[in-house]
Amino acid sequence: MNTQEKPRHITIIGAGLVGSLQAIYLAQRGYQVTVFEQLPDIRKEAIPAGRSINLALANRGIHALEQVGVMEQVKSLLITMKGRMLHDESGNLHMQKYGQKSEEVIYSVSRAGLVSILRDKAEATGLVKFYFKHELKGIKFDTRRCDIENLITGEIKAHEFEYLVGADGGGSQVRACMEALETTEVTSELLDHSYKELTIPADANGDFQLYKEALHIWPRGEYMLIALPNPDASFTLTLFMPNRGEVSFEAIHDEQQLEQFFDQHFADAKALIPDLKTEYFNNPTGYLGTIRCSDWHHENVMLIGDAAHAVVPFHGQGMNAGFEDCAQLNAALEASDDDWQMAIPQFEAARIDNANAIADMALEHYVEMRATVRDPKFHLKKAIAFELENRLPEYFIPRYSMVTFHLIPYAEAKSRGLIQSRILEQLSEGIKDISEVDFERGERLVVQKLPRLNLGN
């Protein structure tokens, strides 16, 4: 890494959710920030939001937004989701709360709305300059220059940087430049399931057609449909399904097959999707994958957000984890008195295991959402977990809650979650109802097997 310790100017590639929040953090530390973004500015031009029109915002993301003082503006975009509303094949509904305290909820937020607020806030510092329609083409690490193409004129210019932060998402060009020099080992696992977005509009009176304050799930074993509410009373639906096989994207060729598939498996939802055929055949099918990197920096270049650790979306944590990156890089800069040479390796060392842990948990959570939630045993275990949390809150917090409602590091949530799942397995063995559970034994097991939590975070 270059010996210059206290840069004044930082370059960010990518003005997505993470790049835009990172710009605010850096400006609030007094840096001049230049951000290059290949797409047009969604605040000025109507462009498709790309993947996922809305997302679930949870505690880690909220915490990072609060620290830069932007949460008040963001609140106006949020719709509370108190739990999962499960839709079975006969149209029966079952609401399952995410947590047991009133504040243990997640929020649906518009991607375009959130990124617009972050960009406004960044610009309001007077220290951040965004260049839209500017694409990073390459990096010369030794001379600290990068090539940026102005996509309007086609001109490519060399841009000098002191430190460069790659916040350019799952397909990161910054990461590709590091990989080309073999300074990081990248593994990328494409999921053999993809997704497609559909819409349930508001009804004729402008009201929600499904219960508003829930994340709706139609779990069907190998595949599922989910829905998140939008402020205009519509829902954005996402169909997750295998790419190939009997029930798959590949198997649906025409309108008749599509109709049959929805009639059979998602009849209640189908009745509410007026543009099913148009949307299904016109909307892109999005790929999903996990990216892990052995190193997140080389010389004066570093990765953050999806560029460093793209995860599948099933735990609703990709953006939340990226926002947590911003808060933790800020903490590392604070602790090192803005010595980037110290701060970057510290940040990276603290983050990589956690990023790998949420990547694993997100993959596991897909099975929970599409299949396990249909098993009565799952609900019994969830009830036992809530009771253990009530009895021993300093030892036992359900894994979903550790990930979603706390700032407990992901790696710790994963390792504690593994012990907890064994305890839940033992306590629920041969039992059908919570009244039969031996909670005294449960408490003994918890205290024996789990260290006390450090809930200072």
Ligand X SMILES: Cc1cc2nc3c(=O)[nH]c(=O)nc-3n(C[C@H](O)[C@H](O)[C@H](O)COP(=O)(O)OP(=O)(O)OC[C@H]3O[C@@H](n4cnc5c(N)ncnc54)[C@H](O)[C@@H]3O)c2cc1C
Among 10, 12, 18, 86, binds ligand X (CB under 6 A): 18
Which position has the token pair 């530390």? 29
Residue 36: partners with Cβ closer than 8 Å, 6 or more residues away = 11, 12, 13, 14, 15, 131, 134, 135, 136, 148, 159
The residues facing 301 across adjacent strands are 164, 298
- What is the identity of the amino acid at 25? Y
Q: How far apart are the first and last CA of the chain?
A: 32
CB-based closest residue to ligand X? 16
- Closest to ligand X by CB, 13 vs 217, is 13
Q: Interface with ligand X by CB under 6 A: which range of 80-88, 169-177, 185-193, 387-395?
A: 169-177
Residue 296 as a binder of ligand X (CB under 6 A): the answer is no
Among 13, 226, 332, 373, binds ligand X (CB under 6 A): 13
Taking the C-alpha atoms of residue 42 and residue 321, their distance in angstroms, rounded to an integer, is 23
Q: Interface with ligand X by CB under 6 A: which range of 81-89, 304-312, 404-412, 428-436?
A: 304-312
Q: Interface with ligand X by CB under 6 A: which range of 52-60, 156-164, 332-340, 395-403?
A: 52-60
Residue 55 as a binder of ligand X (CB under 6 A): the answer is yes
- Closest to ligand X by CB, 5 vs 368, is 368
Q: Least separation, in Å, of the C-beta of 325 and ligand X?
A: 8
Among 104, 306, 324, 348, binds ligand X (CB under 6 A): 306
Residue 145 as a binder of ligand X (CB under 6 A): the answer is no
Residue 173 as a binder of ligand X (CB under 6 A): the answer is yes
Residue 303 as a binder of ligand X (CB under 6 A): the answer is no
Q: Interface with ligand X by CB under 6 A: which range of 30-38, 261-269, 361-369, 436-444?
A: 30-38
Residues in the chain: 457
Residue 136 as a binder of ligand X (CB under 6 A): the answer is yes
Pattern 233-272, ligand X, x by CB under 6 A = -----x----------------------------------
Query: Would strands 106-110 and 128-132 be described as parallel, antiparallel, or unpaired?
Result: unpaired
Count of alpha carbons within 13 angstroms of residue 204, beta-carbon side: 0
Residue 327 as a binder of ligand X (CB under 6 A): the answer is no
Residue 39 as a binder of ligand X (CB under 6 A): the answer is yes
How far from chain centre, in Å, is Cα 85?
20
Taking the C-alpha atoms of residue 163 and residue 12, their distance in angstroms, rounded to an integer, is 9
Residue 319 as a binder of ligand X (CB under 6 A): the answer is yes
Confirm if 149 and 156 have CB atoms less than 8 A apart.
Answer: yes
Q: Is 106 helix (H, G, I), strand (E, B) or coil?
A: strand
- Closest to ligand X by CB, 113 vs 313, is 313
What element of type H or E holds 376? helix 376-391
Residue 59: partners with Cβ closer than 8 Å, 6 or more residues away = 320, 404, 405, 406, 407
Residue 348 as a binder of ligand X (CB under 6 A): the answer is no
Among 17, 146, 237, 453, binds ligand X (CB under 6 A): 17
Q: Least separation, in Å, of the C-beta of 336 and ligand X?
A: 23
Give 329-335's long-range contacts (Cβ < 8 A, gap of 24+). Answer: 329/22, 329/25, 329/304, 330/25, 330/29, 330/67, 333/29
Taking the C-alpha atoms of residue 13 and residue 51, their distance in angstroms, rounded to an integer, is 19
Residue 56 as a binder of ligand X (CB under 6 A): the answer is yes
Among 12, 24, 25, 37, binds ligand X (CB under 6 A): 37
Q: Least separation, in Å, of the C-beta of 306 and ligand X?
A: 4
Number of residues lying near ligand X (CB under 6 A): 35
Residue 43 as a binder of ligand X (CB under 6 A): the answer is no
Q: Interface with ligand X by CB under 6 A: which range of 10-18, 257-265, 344-352, 442-450?
A: 10-18
> DSSP letter string over 266-293?
-HHHHTT-TTHHHHHHHSPPEEEEEEEE
Q: Which residues bind ligand X (CB under 6 A)?
A: 13-19, 36-39, 51-52, 55-56, 135-136, 167-170, 173, 195, 238, 286, 305-307, 313, 316-320, 322
